[in-house]
Amino acid sequence: MSAERRRDVRLRPSPDLPARASVAVDALVREAVEVVDLSAGGLAFARGDSSLEPGARVELRLALAGAPERSVAVVVRWRSEQTVGAQFVDLSDDAAQELRRYLGELLERGASV
């Protein structure tokens, strides 16, 4: 998705406020991925095997600093050789509130865009 179409500012997690994620490879296997940036609407993550196609719906486990890990659904919007951009779908009110809290903390600490 181009920056012009993006509604939300994307912020990079920081070492003192990490964001961890894993993606379901299949029913039994999960792969840890590096969260490159995230916003209220989605995230980008690095994945060595970027076989995920745009339009694919994927289940992520996402853990933001200070919050428990939770399952979130995303739809892949774009991919490059090693990075995948995805949009959150059907995010619960609790998850959205937790994400806003985390992004606010990143902004307060001067996170890079």
**pLDDT 10s digits, 3-15:** 445 578 899 999 9
**pLDDT 10s digits, 88-103:** 999 999 999 999 999 9
pLDDT at residue 50, as a whole number? 64
Six-digit token string for 113: 């865009």
Domain membership of residue 97 (yes or no) is yes
Domain membership of residue 99 (yes or no) is yes
Q: What is the CATH number of the domain that holds 55?
A: 2.40.10.220
pLDDT at residue 4, as a whole number? 46
Residue with the bigger pLDDT between 2 and 95: it is 95
8 Å CB contact between 36 and 12: yes
Task: Tell me: pLDDT of 84 over 50.
Answer: yes
Tell me the three-class secondary structure of the chain, residue by residue.
CCCCCCCCCCECCECCECEEEEEECCCCCEEEEEEEEECCCEEEEECCCCCCCCCCEEEEEEEECCCCCEEEEEEEEEECCCEEEEEEECCCHHHHHHHHHHHHHHHHCCCCC
Long-range contacts for 93-99 (Cβ within 8 Å, ≥24 apart)? 95/70, 96/40, 98/64, 98/67, 98/70, 99/38, 99/40, 99/64
pLDDT at residue 39, as a whole number? 96
Domain membership of residue 10 (yes or no) is no
pLDDT at residue 5, as a whole number? 55
- Please count the structural domains in the chain: 1
**pLDDT 10s digits, 13-70:** 999 999 999 998 777 888 999 999 999 999 999 987 667 899 999 999 999 998 999 9
